[in-house]
């Protein structure tokens, strides 16, 4: 049994075909030994404590900051507390039992373009841990009432990408379980034959009334559509049941919220509350065991699941605050996260809309994470002299005016705590400048040895000036003269 968290994406900023990314997975679940699966959608919350915890994960410890940055950090933490309000967002979990191990299943789903992550130590967020059960609702220890509604067996209408979005946008927490039962190809064909035979008997029966004949005709048309789709597209057949659970401070509020759920969800939902046992089944660590849903093709399942996956709000908390999205949810980013393959970003806005101020603010906040920055300021508008000096008396912000004396940038300036990483960084810069090529192994080795000898004299000594390119040139020439031959020629 596997429980995998799926990371949602924004429907409006991604290609339309991404909605169908998981269709091969749903169509082939039976072939993977999975008789059923559950897509569990739960609500979680972003608040000040979560944002502060995420910031502390990447920030330099307070006692290691220089004096002038300490007060700015205190100001930033106060700003977080004053501006971040509790915001609801959605988390998705796939619960499935298949022949694949967790790692292989992760790779398979990510191969379809959906990002995943293992279940964290906190597990699935639950609406409550214990409750007093009644027939069709439960009462938790905080006197909150919980109930659920389920989709009808017979569904009308179409499923589209936004089917569940209005439901997730409700102001109160919503918990949704999409239970999916899978049929093998031979089993699906036999099922359709059986239903076609039943429909034929209903249509030809002597006592069949007009409504029965009409229902039999509609059933036969649906079966024909299923057969056609299976034969032309190669999709599978499933049974699907949707369960939606909400809570309220009283039974009347619970009843009112369930009515709002029925209005926000275009699926055909039961008019009555479901038995309270379905809530326990929703949050079970096992996939559904009994078939009890409406027939659907893999395409139908894909769009329904895609509707849940494509409702996204930013949930990343490791980094610094950029601002707030249209839902007033905080947008947090760590531009210099080592996990990023590149540190590129584009800020687009009208003239005078505050792009420069925004980027400057982002850079200053990133200083709290230990980032070292080079800011190119063509207008000369940025003044960071208020940052003061570090513990060694050096200016935290060094102003370099291009075209004046002392304006050169030293690529040998240490930027990594480990010597080997620093040397690899410098070698990469020299290669980009055309000092040597990848295939020139002798030159690479010569530069490597020279850099090691240069850095050995200054590494780890804060008061010692870093070596420069002229120093490197002299060191290379000295090694070449000492070794002679090909080494001297390479130097």
Q: In this predicted model, what pLDDT tens digit does every residue of 53-70 receive, in sequence order?
A: 889 988 989 988 888 788
pLDDT for 201 beyond 70: no
Averaged over 122-148, what is the pLDDT?
90
In residues, how long is the chain? 491
pLDDT confidence band for 463 (50 / 70 / 90)? low
pLDDT for 207 beyond 70: no
Dihedral, CA atoms, 335, 339, 341, 344, nearest 10 degrees?
0
In degrees and rounded to multiples of 5, residue 475 shows phi and psi of: -65, -40
Say how far residue 179 (Cα) sits from the centre of its chain. Answer: 23
Instruction: Identify the structural domains of the chain with CATH numbers, from first to last.
Output: 2-46+87-184+236-309 (3.40.462), 48-84+335-407 (no CATH), 410-491 (no CATH)
Tens digit of each residue's pLDDT (9 = 90 or more) over 62-109? 988 888 788 889 999 998 888 888 777 788 999 998 888 888 989 999
pLDDT confidence band for 353 (50 / 70 / 90)? confident
The whole-chain average pLDDT of the chain stands at: 83
Tens digit of each residue's pLDDT (9 = 90 or more) over 281-321? 998 888 888 778 888 888 889 999 999 998 877 777 888 98
In the chain, what percentage of residues exceed pLDDT 90? 21
How buried is 220 (Cβ within 10 angstroms: 0-12 exposed, 13-18 middle, 19+ buried)? Answer: middle
Closest CA to 242 of 166, 312, 155, 137: 155
- Which residues are CB-neighbours of 5 under 8 A, at least 6 positions away? 91, 92, 93, 94, 116, 117, 118, 119, 120
Question: DSSP state, 117?
Answer: E
Q: Which of 237-241, 372-376, 466-470 tops mean pLDDT? A: 237-241
pLDDT confidence band for 257 (50 / 70 / 90)? very high
pLDDT for 421 beyond 90: no
The alpha-carbon radius of gyration of the chain (Å, integer) is 31
Averaged over 4-10, what is the pLDDT?
89
Task: Provide the token pair at 368.
Answer: 């709290």
299 to each of 152, 303, 387, how far by Cα in Å?
19, 6, 58
pLDDT confidence band for 253 (50 / 70 / 90)? very high
pLDDT for 408 beyond 80: no
Please report the pLDDT score of residue 263 as a whole number: 93
Please report the pLDDT score of residue 364 as a whole number: 87
Please report the pLDDT score of residue 216 as a whole number: 65
Total H helices, total E strands in the chain: 15, 12
Please report the pLDDT score of residue 119 as a whole number: 81
- How far apart are the C-alpha atoms of 173 and 93, rounded to whole Å? 16
Lowest mean pLDDT among 79-88, 158-167, 214-223: 214-223
E strands in 284-334: 294-297, 320-324, 330-333
| More confident: 92 or 418 | 92
Cβ atoms of 80 and 74 within 8 Å: the answer is no
Averaged over 158-175, what is the pLDDT?
89
Please report the pLDDT score of residue 270 as a whole number: 93
pLDDT for 354 beyond 90: no
In the chain, what percentage of residues exceed pLDDT 70? 87
- How far apart are the C-alpha atoms of 163 and 309, rounded to whole Å? 11
Please report the pLDDT score of residue 374 as a whole number: 83
Task: Provide the token pair at 76.
Answer: 């930033």
Please report the pLDDT score of residue 405 as a whole number: 57
Closest CA to 6 of 99, 174, 166, 119: 119
Cβ atoms of 37 and 182 within 8 Å: the answer is yes
Which residues are 45's β-sheet partners?
88
337 to each of 62, 72, 324, 334, how far by Cα in Å?
20, 22, 20, 5
């Amino acid at each position: 049994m596997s429980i995998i968290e799926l990371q949602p994406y924004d429907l409006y900023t991604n290609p339309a075909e991404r909605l169908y990314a998981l269709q091969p997975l749903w169509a082939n679940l039976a072939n993977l030994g999975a008789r059923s699966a559950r897509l569990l959608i739960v609500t979680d919350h972003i608040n000040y404590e979560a944002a502060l915890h995420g910031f502390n994960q990447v920030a330099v410890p307070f006692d290691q900051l220089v004096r002038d940055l300490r007060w700015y950090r205190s100001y930033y933490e106060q700003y977080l507390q004053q501006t971040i309000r509790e915001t609801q967002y959605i988390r998705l979990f796939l619960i499935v039992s298949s022949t694949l191990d967790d790692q292989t299943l992760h790779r398979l789903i990510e191969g379809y373009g959906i990002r995943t992550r293992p279940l964290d130590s906190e597990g699935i967020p639950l609406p409550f841990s214990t409750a007093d059960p009644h027939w069709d609702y439960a009462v938790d220890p905080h006197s909150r009432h919980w109930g659920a509604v389920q989709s009808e067996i017979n569904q009308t209408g179409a499923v589209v990408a936004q089917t569940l979005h209005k439901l997730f946008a409700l102001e109160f927490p919503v918990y949704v379980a999409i239970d999916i039962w899978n049929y093998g190809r031979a089993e699906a064909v036999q099922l359709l034959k059986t239903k076609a035979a039943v429909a034929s008997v209903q249509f030809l029966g002597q006592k069949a009334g007009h409504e029965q004949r009409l229902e039999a005709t509609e059933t036969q048309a649906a079966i024909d559509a299923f057969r056609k789709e299976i034969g032309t597209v190669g999709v599978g057949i499933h049974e699907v049941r949707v369960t939606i659970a909400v809570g309220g401070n009283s039974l009347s509020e619970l009843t009112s919220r369930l009515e709002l759920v029925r209005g926000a969800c275009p699926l055909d939902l039961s008019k009555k509350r479901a038995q309270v046992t379905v809530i326990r089944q929703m949050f079970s660590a096992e996939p559904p065991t009994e078939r009890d849903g409406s027939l659907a093709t893999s395409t139908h399942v894909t769009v329904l699941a895609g509707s849940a996956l494509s409702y996204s709000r930013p949930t990343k908390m490791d980094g610094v605050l950029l601002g707030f999205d249209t839902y007033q949810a905080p947008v947090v980013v760590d531009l210099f996260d080592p996990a990023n393959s590149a540190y590129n970003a584009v800020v687009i806005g009208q003239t005078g809309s505050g792009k420069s101020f925004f980027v400057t603010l982002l850079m200053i906040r990133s200083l709290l994470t230990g980032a070292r920055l080079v800011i190119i300021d063509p207008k000369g508008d940025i003044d960071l002299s208020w940052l003061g000096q570090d513990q060694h008396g050096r200016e935290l912000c060094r102003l370099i005016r291009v075209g004046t004396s002392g304006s050169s940038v030293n690529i040998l300036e240490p930027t990594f705590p480990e010597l080997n990483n620093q040397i690899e960084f410098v070698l990469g810069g020299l290669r980009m400048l055309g000092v040597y090529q990848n295939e020139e192994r002798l030159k690479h080795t010569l530069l490597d040895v020279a850099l090691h000898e240069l850095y050995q004299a200054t590494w780890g000594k804060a008061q010692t000036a870093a070596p420069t390119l002229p120093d490197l040139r002299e060191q290379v020439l000295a090694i070449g003269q000492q070794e002679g031959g090909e080494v001297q020629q390479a130097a």
